[in-house]
Every structure is written in C-alpha cells, then in structure tokens.
Amino acid sequence: MAHLGLVVLAVWLFFFLALNSLVQDSPTMDEQNHLARGAAFVHTADPRLSLEHPPLVNSLSGLPLLLLPDLVYPFDHPSWTEMQPPDIYWYNFADQFVWRVNQDVTRMIFLGRLPMVFLTLGLALVGFHFARLFWGRPSAYLAFVLLLFEPNVLGNGRLITTDLGGTLFMTLALLLVWRMWTAPGWNWRRWLAAGVGLGLAFGSKLSMLAFVPILLVLAFLPIFEEGTQSCTEEAQRGTERWRRFLQLVSAGALSVGVVWAIFGFEWGAFRFPSEVLAGLNRFSGPMPTFWAGLDQIVNVSRGGRAAFLLGETSLEGFWLFFPVAFLVKTPLVLLFGLVGVIVWGWKRPSSRPKLLYLLIPALLYFGVSVVSGINIGYRHLLPIVPLIIVAVSGLPTFLGSKLPRTERKWRGGDTGHSRVIALVLAGGILLPTLLIHPHYLSYFNLAAGGSANGASILADSSNDWGQDLLRLQAWMAENDVETINLGWFGIADPAYYGLVYEPLPGFPRAEFLSLWDNPPFDPQAPGPGLYAISASSLWESHRVEKHVYTWFRQREADVRIGSIYVYVIE
C-alpha cells in the first residue's frame, strides 16, 4: 500500500508539473504542423499532410479538436488542394489553419497537447512493466518515477510532436519482442502482440524504422536461452536463433499491415521525391505517403541541415553533436547510474542478457543518430532514454546482491541499502526537474553549467524552440513595458498575443528573417531601448557567420525569461 500511495502522489505531481508548464508555453516551432496534419487526418481520413510523420500520434492530438465544432479547415487553400509549394505545403496549410482562418490558438494548442501528457504517463507504465519483468516490482516503481520526471521526457511529453509518441511505442515494441522471443516455442499471442507493437512504433515516427536492423542483430545474439526449454547444444542454439529471426520477420510483415491501417488504408499514385525513385510515380499502391516520406527522410539525412554546437554552426552537421548533447542534457544521476549498471550489473551473470537487450539497442540507435546528418535536437535521442532508465532501475538490485543472503530482501538485495540507492536515483531526477520548472526544454545538467550556460552549447529544440513568448508577454505586462525590440525565434505570431514590438533579426517568420542582412540597429553599438532576443537568435544558430548579435553575446543579459534574453540599453 505504501508503494501505491507513492505512485498516486507521483502521478498527481506529474500532472501538476506537466499541465502548469504546458499552459505557459507558447506554440513551439513544429507544433502547428503536427496539430494541423493530425486535425486534417481526423477530419478527412486523408494523410496527404503526413509526409514526414505517420499520422498515429498526430491523430491523437487532432482528436480533441473535435470538441471545437466551429473550427475552420482551409481545404480550399492550394497547400491542400494542389500541395503547393511541394516541398513545404504542410507548413503553409498549418499556418493557415492555426493563425489565419481560426482565432482560438490557445485552446487549440492546449487540447492538442493534452493527449501527449497521457502518452507520457503511458511511457512510464511501459517502463514499469519492463523493469518489473527484468528486475522485480521495487525496481518497477523506481523506473516509473524516473520516467515520469526525467526533464527531457517531461519537456517533450507536453508538446504536439511525434518524439514522445515514437519513444513510447518503440519501448512497448521492444518489451513485446522480448516476451515473444523468451516464450517457449512459437507463442502466437505474443507474436501477434509484437507485430502490433512494431506497427504502432513504425506508424508513430519514421525514425523508429532504424530499430529494424537493430532487432535483426539482437535476434542472433545468444541472450535469450535463459528461461526457455532449448538445450545448450550449439545446433539447437542455432535453431532458436533462426526461430527468433522468423518470428521477427513475420511480425514485421504484420506490422506493415498495421501501419497501412494507421494510414487509413490509403491507396494512390506513388509520389517519391527523389530522382532515383521518381520513375515509380507512374504506378499506384498502398500508403504512397508513407513511402514518399521515407524517401524524403533518407534524402534529408544524407544532405543534413544547419546544426549548432558549442557556439559554431555547420551546414553539414557535427559528428560530436549527439555525444555532446547526451552528456550535457542527460541528468547526471542517469549518467553515473549507467556507469554503475555496466560495472556492477555485468558482475551478475543472470543480469547480463537483460542488460545487453537494453543497452545494445540504445548504443546502436545512438550510433545511427551520430552518423545522421540531422543534428537538430536531443529529442532525437529520446528512444534510448527509457532503455537507460529501465537498466538503471536495476542498480539497487545489483548493489544489494553483494550482501550476505541472510540480509537480502529487495529481490536479491538488502532493503536498507537498496532503498537508499533508489532514493538517490529518484531524488537525482526529481530535484533538478523541480528546480528547472517550468523551463524543461532549457534543461542542462550541472556539469554543463545548467540552463544559464545552455545557449552557447545547443540551440533549437534542445534549448530554445520558441516556447517563451507567453512568458515575455506576462513580463512586459508586469513591468509596464509597452513596446520592445524583439529578435524572435519561433513560429508563434507575436502580434496574435498583442505584443507591440519592433522586429529584429530572427527565424523563421518573414518579418524577422528578412532583417539579417540589414539589421535595424548598429551591431557595434546598439541604440537605447529594451531588446528581447531569443537564445537561438542571439547565437545566430542558423548562420555560419555570426556578427549581428556579437555585442549582446559579450555582455550578461539584464533579465532572462527562460530562453529569451532581455537587455536594457540606456
């Protein structure tokens, strides 16, 4: 009962932190696109906007918008009827839907974010079952708490994107595949569950397809024999490996059908964007939007995007982007806990197969991210976070098991020692989360200098994604500031929220983007006034040459409003 009471308190605290922070966050850079495609798919069952993101998670955000019967859908706009311009038509449709033809942005964003909060709770429940299966019920409660309050999970788990949803369903799929592979023989129920789980993962985010080769590697590793009825002879071990391979391939085939169902059984002409596959566009087939999106993601990954790291910008990306991002944004307690798991968990032969099943996918997916040309945020590493947390939740068991058997109570460990370790882990997550509230996207661990030092390390969704416009509005009202010079980084329209401002260079709205080559102030000696500059604009994260805001970067801001820096020049 004590554990149940703690779980209830944790859930209530989670909902308070999530809801209290999400209502203060202005719409972030990608949210309008995800919300618009989800709402359009729910309204029409047409996935034409779901080119780079399958519609499963977006549809969950779009469903609550049915509670707003007066919403207007711009289905007569060329971005829908003709998908023009072809490279960014979903951006144009989203801009029309959120900011032009409707005037209820606050309620639309709130309703769209609400399902993501419940998906985050679902991720914690999946982590609970994963840890209980591997280490026992006490570790399961620990994994549940760590997943609820990990600041990067909480930060992305309140936003209308596919990152948290993809993480949830991929973690669920990995759990179901483990259960399928460790069952004696061919368990059809577990096979069916694994196939559906994989389909949900692939139907939530295209990057989850990177786990296909990872799972193929796992199928041939000798880590599943424990608990099965197979013999130890090498020939029969080989038979078991081929059984796992066939189970995975057949479950993968089933998952394709699940993905097709998620796309509403779409059938039509293919529309591959790459020249290599363009010849296939004269044919028709199932879910052409899915295949076109996969082709486009591959092309983008090869070409890369502008990436910001440690004060520098590269148009090709950085090999060190994700290693640095992982080290500076992952809570220190998880980093040290991971080292502890590798050191002490490996000493227990019974734990090695389970640790390999958790850490090999995390390591391989991390490697895939490193070689990818898309270096735009820590959120792309989210799928490895639950795997690390489930592994770390076993640490109390590993350390407690070193004591004499007569003193062990925590599934092979000592209650007192194990509880202390569990409290340290839980406190190491909860304390920084409470301290950073409500600025979760701006979280950096203490070794990186905390959020105050984050702007010079990472930009975009790792720090400044346009989430603090409402907080700037509140600050201006509290301080009787009527007008401000604004270097805005974000998709939200400041005029919609009643801000009176003079635009400075920013991104990506046109009135800010057009000023980089001709800023309305002297970069060497800015004139008197109030200057509010988003962190990503301040560090000119999308520009290789950085000379517009150099003067501001060389002095400390007078006020910091989350990711917005305010300078008072007299």
* Alpha carbon separation from 534 to 44, 118, 346, 464, 540 (Å, rounded): 37, 30, 45, 7, 10
Q: Of 64, 65, 92, 67, whose CA–CA distance to 78 is shortest?
A: 92
Distance, CA of 210 to CA of 197 (rounded, Å):
15
Contacts of 532 (CB under 8 A, 6+ apart): 472, 484, 485, 486, 487, 501, 561, 564, 565, 566, 567
CA atoms within 13 A on the CB side of 75: 10
Distance, CA of 302 to CA of 299 (rounded, Å):
5
- 308 beta partners: 313
Q: Are 351 and 345 in contact (CB under 8 A)?
A: yes
Here the tokens at position 462 are 């790792």
Output the pLDDT for position 90. 85
Distance, CA of 311 to CA of 544 (rounded, Å):
10
Output the pLDDT for position 303. 59
Q: What is the pLDDT along the chain (570 residues), one digit of tens a residue?
A: 667 788 899 999 999 999 999 999 999 999 999 999 999 999 999 999 998 899 999 999 999 999 999 999 999 999 999 887 877 888 999 999 999 999 899 999 999 999 999 999 999 999 999 999 999 999 999 999 999 999 999 999 999 999 999 999 999 999 999 999 999 889 999 999 999 999 999 999 999 999 999 999 999 988 876 544 444 566 677 788 899 999 999 999 999 999 999 999 999 999 998 888 988 999 999 999 999 999 888 877 665 678 999 999 998 889 999 999 999 999 999 999 999 999 998 888 888 999 999 999 999 999 999 988 788 899 999 999 999 999 999 999 888 655 444 434 444 445 567 788 899 999 999 999 999 999 999 999 999 999 999 999 999 999 999 999 999 999 999 999 999 999 999 999 999 999 999 999 999 999 999 999 999 999 999 999 999 999 999 999 999 999 999 999 999 999 999 999 999 998
Output the pLDDT for position 302. 65
Spell out the alpha helix ranges (H) of 402-557.
Answer: 415-436, 469-478, 510-513, 535-538, 550-553
Here the tokens at position 503 are 């635009």
Output the pLDDT for position 157. 97
Output the pLDDT for position 315. 85
Query: What SS3 string covers 247-266?
Result: HHHHHHHHHHHHHHHHCCCC
Single pTM value for the model: 0.93
Residue with tokens 């295949």: 291
Residue with tokens 């996969």: 294
- Cis ω for the linkage preceding 508 (within 30 of 0): yes
Output the pLDDT for position 3. 74
Residue with tokens 């982590």: 127
